[in-house]
Structure 1
Amino acid sequence: MLLLILGLVVFLGVHSVSIVAPAWRDAQVAKRGEGAWKGLYSVLSLVGFVLLVVGYGQARLDPIVLYVPPVALRHLALLLMLPVFVLLLAAYLPGRLQAAARHPMLAATKLWATAHLLANGTLADVLLFGGFLAWAVADRISLKRRAARPVPGAPRRPVNDAVALVGGLLLYGLFVAWGHRWLIGVALV
């Protein structure tokens, strides 16, 4: 469990710099340069991600059950996950979907975390998905006080919404049918 917590602290901590210390972040970019900042950010994010993946895997071997969700919540979780891949693609494909969601990556993260909290009830699940949900909510609130940085992505084109919608639904179908079992070890169907 310690690795999971450490991974969450590192990963979400790095991703929280703009939330809690935007002026410090900007000073570091000015001092070190954009490339150096992004390099350090990427390395720390990767270290945190590896720690939380390994820690979550270890915690699943000896789970501490906090609650047992009814089967109906697992079905609701699948439904909540439906727009997640669409939103993930919309984050990088400027169009009406991106504009409507305002912050599609954060919306996707909140839906993903909520769905998984509904379907899973171990301590590791609550730490992982609850941590991401709390972070996404805090980041969304903080964006009301600070300017969002531009997200690199495709140029604005009319086809972007169709690509995000069709591509996201295809990814969802693949993930439900095969990807979740392959990556996470848990079959959904």
Structure 2
Amino acid sequence: MLQLLIGLALFLGIHSLQSLAPDMRQNGIARWGTLGFKAVYAAVAVLGLYLLVQGYGQARLDPVVLWTPPRGMQHATILLMWVAMVLLVATYVPGNQIKAKLRHPMTLSVKVWALGHLLSNGNLADVLLFGGFLVWSVLVFRAARQRDRMHMHSAYEGKLLGTLLAVVVGTGVWAAFLMGGLHVWLVGVMPFTRAG
């Protein structure tokens, strides 16, 4: 469990710098230069992800059950995962209305993903992993919205074609996870038998 906690702290901590600790980020760039900072950033992120994945995998071998989610929560998770995948894809599809309206669909995607998995998983490791990502995404989204207001970013209009593309591709990614075996391959769990 300690490995999972250290991994979460490193991975989420380094991904919080721009939004929650911009001065620390600027100090790092001033000290190491842009390229050096990116190298340190990448190293910490990769180490954190490795520890997070290894720690979560070990914790799943000897689960500490906090609660047993009702069976219907699996269906809610599956639906929320569709929303999360559409938001994720909307981050990268240029000129879509989802990104134009929400401004930070990647962070919202993480928020929806984490919430969905918390609904259908009641083990301690799940609560730490998904709860950690949920708290992180709430804080980062809030900071990003405050930054938007301070800098008075002008709103841009998304186009219907970009929006449709984001929804179609997001639905395809969701289907690949749900029915195409991608979730089983990556996580080792079949979503229909245990969403999460």
Amino acid in the other structure paired with 2:117: H
The one of 172, 177, 180 aligned to 2:183: 180
Matching residue of 2:113:
112
Task: Name the SS of the counterpart of 2:147 in structure 1.
Answer: coil
TM-score if structure 2 supplies the norm length? 0.86
1:51-130 equivalent positions in 2, closer than 5 A: 51-94=51-94, 95-130=96-131
1:133 lines up with 2:134 in the alignment:
yes
The unaligned stretches of length 5 or more in structure 1 are 149-155
Matching residue of 2:42:
42
Q: CA deviation at 1:24?
A: 2.3
Partners of 1:28 and 1:6 in 2: CA distance = 21
Q: CA deviation at 1:21?
A: 2.1
Q: CA deviation at 1:166?
A: 1.0
Task: Name the SS of the counterpart of 1:63 in structure 2.
Answer: coil
Matching residue of 1:165:
167
Q: CA deviation at 1:19?
A: 3.5
Q: CA deviation at 1:158?
A: 6.6
Q: Deviations over 1:47-70 (max 9, x none)?
A: 100100000000000000000001
RMSD of aligned Cα (Å):
1.8
Amino acid in the other structure paired with 1:10: L
Q: CA deviation at 1:163?
A: 2.5
Q: Deviations over 1:71-120 (max 9, x none)?
A: 00111111111111111111122321211222101110010000000000
Task: Name the SS of the counterpart of 1:108 in structure 2.
Answer: helix
Q: Deviations over 1:111-145 (max 9, x none)?
A: 00000000000000000000000000011111233
Partners of 2:171 and 2:102 in 1: CA distance = 17
Task: Name the SS of the counterpart of 1:68 in structure 2.
Answer: coil
Amino acid in the other structure paired with 1:124: A
Q: CA deviation at 1:159?
A: 4.2
Task: Name the SS of the counterpart of 1:37 in structure 2.
Answer: helix
TM-score if structure 1 supplies the norm length? 0.89
Partners of 2:20 and 2:182 in 1: CA distance = 35
Partners of 2:89 and 2:36 in 1: CA distance = 27
The unaligned stretches of length 5 or more in structure 2 are 150-157
